[in-house]
């Protein structure tokens, strides 16, 4: 990639972020964009900060050259905003940006960070469930500070996150909370009782749970689940990559208004 003028590149990123204001609400977008338009790496800090800021700017120039639809452009802007917002939040909380070669180009001339960031931006560009974009941004922002997440694992998490619906992300949050808080309880029996009448909404939720189990993101270590009526919501726990997604995507940020209805259904 030919190195662009960094001031111009920063202005391009600022424009990209402002384009996503319809999705993000515009809160802080101008501030983040202006900060990146300034000295490279100033707002990110750390040994890898300048490299990362330069990467964000260069990719912004690359994005500008691509043909995308108006709505896709807004999604890209939103993903940029959320990723940079999370990076700045991590920095402000005292976390150190990773310095393990993640931002250093390999023999191909491309770093793992570039590959992962492009993957997240492209997934966000095509993501019609736009509420997921915030959590894609969180994923990028947190991977940038976690040396335990290498290139292969990051790509695996991105692929899985893309394949899950927003409802399933909400379910991961609910099941995680159920297993980690005594204040959250879910139904403690299955749906095999005679006369049980499952609504279409409930059937959809139960199929989503089975899909999460089939992906090994949640587990029922108490009883086997052969079909949706065998599901006992209170017996499930988040496991493996499910825990990684809850943590790195920060699904705790999903608002009550989005997961409350699902939690109520799982208590009926």
User: pLDDT by residue (tens digit) across 190-201?
Assistant: 999 988 899 999
pLDDT for position 66: 77
Cα separation, 145 vs 58, in Å, equals 20
**Within 13 Å and on the Cβ side, how many CA atoms surround 180?**
11
pLDDT for position 68: 79
Three-class secondary structure of residue 218 per DSSP: strand
- Residue 220: strand pairing partners: 236
Q: How many CB atoms lie within 10 A of CB 250?
A: 19
Q: Answer whether residue 3 shows pLDDT above 60.
A: no
pLDDT for position 39: 46
* More confident of the two residues 84 and 228: 228
Cα separation, 36 vs 43, in Å, equals 7
- Taking phi over 0 as left and psi of -120 to 50 as alpha, with beta for the rest, 216 belongs to left
Global pTM reads 0.87
Cα separation, 20 vs 249, in Å, equals 19
Q: pLDDT tens digits, residue range 155-189?
A: 999 999 999 999 999 999 999 999 988 778 899 99
Q: pLDDT tens digits, residue range 39-68?
A: 444 445 555 566 677 777 777 777 777 767
Q: pLDDT tens digits, residue range 204-223?
A: 999 999 999 999 999 998 98
pLDDT for position 35: 54
- Residue 238: strand pairing partners: 218
pLDDT for position 24: 83
* More confident of the two residues 135 and 97: 135
Residue 168 DSSP label: H
Cα separation, 113 vs 52, in Å, equals 8
In which band, very low, low, confident or very high, does the pLDDT at 257 lie, cut at 50, 70 and 90? Answer: very high
Point out the least confidently predicted range of 3-7, 104-108, 119-123.
Answer: 3-7
Nearest C-alpha neighbor of 21 from the set 31, 32, 13, 29: 29
pLDDT for position 126: 94
Q: Answer whether residue 4 shows pLDDT above 70.
A: no
CA torsion sign for 230, 245, 164, 172 is positive
């Amino acid at each position: 990639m030919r190195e662009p003028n960094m001031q111009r590149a920063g202005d391009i990123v600022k424009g990209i972020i402002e384009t996503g204001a319809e999705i993000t609400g515009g809160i802080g977008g101008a501030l983040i964009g202006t900060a990146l338009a300034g000295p490279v790496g100033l707002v990110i800090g750390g040994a890898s900060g300048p490299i990362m800021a330069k990467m964000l700017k260069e990719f912004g120039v690359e994005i500008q050259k691509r043909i995308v639809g108006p709505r896709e452009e807004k999604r890209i802007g939103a993903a940029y905003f959320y990723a940079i917002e999370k990076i700045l939040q991590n920095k402000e909380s005292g976390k150190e940006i990773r310095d393990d070669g993640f931002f250093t180009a390999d023999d191909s001339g491309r770093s793992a960070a570039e590959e992962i960031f492009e993957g997240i931006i492209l997934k966000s560009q095509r993501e019609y469930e736009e509420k997921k974009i915030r959590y894609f941004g969180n994923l990028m922002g947190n991977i940038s500070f976690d040396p335990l997440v290498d290139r292969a694992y990051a790509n695996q998490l991105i692929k899985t996150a893309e394949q899950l619906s927003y409802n399933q992300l909400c379910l991961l949050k609910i099941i995680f909370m159920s297993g980690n808080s005594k204040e959250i309880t879910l139904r403690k029996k299955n749906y095999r009782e005679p006369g049980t009448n499952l609504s279409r909404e409930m059937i959809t939720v139960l199929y989503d749970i089975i899909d999460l189990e089939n992906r090994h993101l949640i587990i029922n270590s108490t009883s086997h689940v052969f079909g949706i009526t065998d599901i006992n919501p209170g017996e499930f726990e988040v496991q493996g990559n499910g825990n990684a997604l809850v943590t790195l995507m920060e699904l705790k940020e999903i608002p009550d208004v989005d997961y409350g209805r699902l939690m109520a259904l799982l208590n009926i």
